[in-house]
Structure 1
């Protein structure tokens, strides 16, 4: 099999199976694992897969820049945001993560809702300017332009001085094995710091993120309260997550 044919075969396997195990593919094609790993490195360098130990997973489409992400699955994000906004109680305190789904949550909050919103995202703070009853606290630090959020040591330190009832967490990848992932190490650290300051953490996961992975792990499944998604309940990944004990909140 030529290199180009192997490449197409690997991409087809990734689409059909949702993952590639290098050892299994090498046995199927009767080639060395080194050859498979080399092919996966090439595909990963082109952004076509996410390499993990032993193979590869589908890459998340949510790793593109902030402006481009606003046009990715807007209907799904609105559905997820509507459910997430319903978790914010009058008088409660919510930490709202950055990203386009979290921005949709800010827009979905009732304008007359009296609550406290803690965020490290300037766009979310601006979106809440027309919510007169919402008290907004900004956490500062180095601006990570990809997701329009503050991160770094100063932001993590600021996060350690807040407390909340709820954290609405945005990620770029949701996978039963790879867990909850994002594309930047400092962003992942900030998300962990925020999750540690909330009583409950719910993951905002529109369908394009389900079954995909990014480079850096955010949290293990046991550290979250639930997952909010518009993915169909009989989707294999959603079924596996539910079997693993993850509380899945479905949109209408």
Structure 2
């Protein structure tokens, strides 16, 4: 009997994960009805899945948890998708803008894609982005100081926050760890939380750059609700039904066309 219960538990938790992938979120009360078990049993299942790093618990239920990878791993992940998102994102940039560029591997790809003809000021907390744009002939580059957060390869801390408050940007390109209609904008690092909040506050437009796996997922630290975004740029493979809630909130959604190759050069 003990072995049978273990199998049932594994099957039940697998069904919970399948429902999360299908619907984006689940409620404990609904899971109790669908799976014909008590809410206490469901809460234990959700606790197990949370401790395994597979879900993010929210009030009354759970959402998918975005994967947490090392920076070196993220650089190599979904390169084609990031290149396509970068190509779409630079269409939102204009001459004379002050551009806040959040740290992240997708925003790094944007920096690599900015055409040499663009005249702008870029402010970033990413040394990698600063180095990428250091020799750009028409971009004035400002690197925000502060302690280096090794997990994200960005500067973070009170010095970075105070420096950000000195600027008013036309547009912010925001690196995304998780986006969920109910949970909102989230990040994996507590130190990043405050940087992203201030970047949003100091920008007229906020563009979320999110690969497909970041949508309908959440991470532990909540930056704020989705309504803080003005634009979402994501991959062409994302189904329309996933994007509808973003559009309902008034967020302009852009599906990036796929690129022929990850090494495509976009510079003019």
Alignment of 1:37-52 (within 5 A): 37-52=43-58
Unaligned 5+ residue runs, structure 1? none
Name which of structure 1's ranges 92-101 and 175-184 shifts more when overlaid on structure 2.
Answer: 175-184
CA displacement at 1:8 relative to structure 2: 2.0
Residue of structure 2 aligned with 1:19, choices 20, 25, 36: 25
1:140-186 Cα shifts (integer Å, max 9, x gaps):
11211221111121211111111211111111111111111111222
| Alpha-carbon distance in structure 1 between the residues aligned to 2:65 and 2:238 | 22
| Alpha-carbon distance in structure 1 between the residues aligned to 2:229 and 2:20 | 27
Scaled by the length of structure 2, the TM-score of the pair is: 0.88
CA displacement at 1:189 relative to structure 2: 1.2
1:205 matched to 2:210 = yes
Alignment of 1:187-226 (within 5 A): 187-226=192-231
1:82 match: secondary structure: helix
| Alpha-carbon distance in structure 1 between the residues aligned to 2:220 and 2:255 | 26
1:103 matched to 2:108 = yes
RMSD: 1.6
| Alpha-carbon distance in structure 2 between the residues aligned to 1:220 and 1:11 | 24
* Count of residue pairs brought into register by the alignment: 251
Unaligned 5+ residue runs, structure 2? 258-268
User: Partner residue of 2:254?
Assistant: 249
1:110 match: secondary structure: coil
Alignment of 1:1-252 (within 5 A): 2-61=8-67, 63-232=68-237, 234-252=239-257
Instruction: Quickly say closer, same or farther: Cα 1:175–1:89, change in 2 above 3 A.
Output: same
Instruction: Quickly say closer, same or farther: Cα 1:73–1:54, change in 2 above 3 A.
Output: same
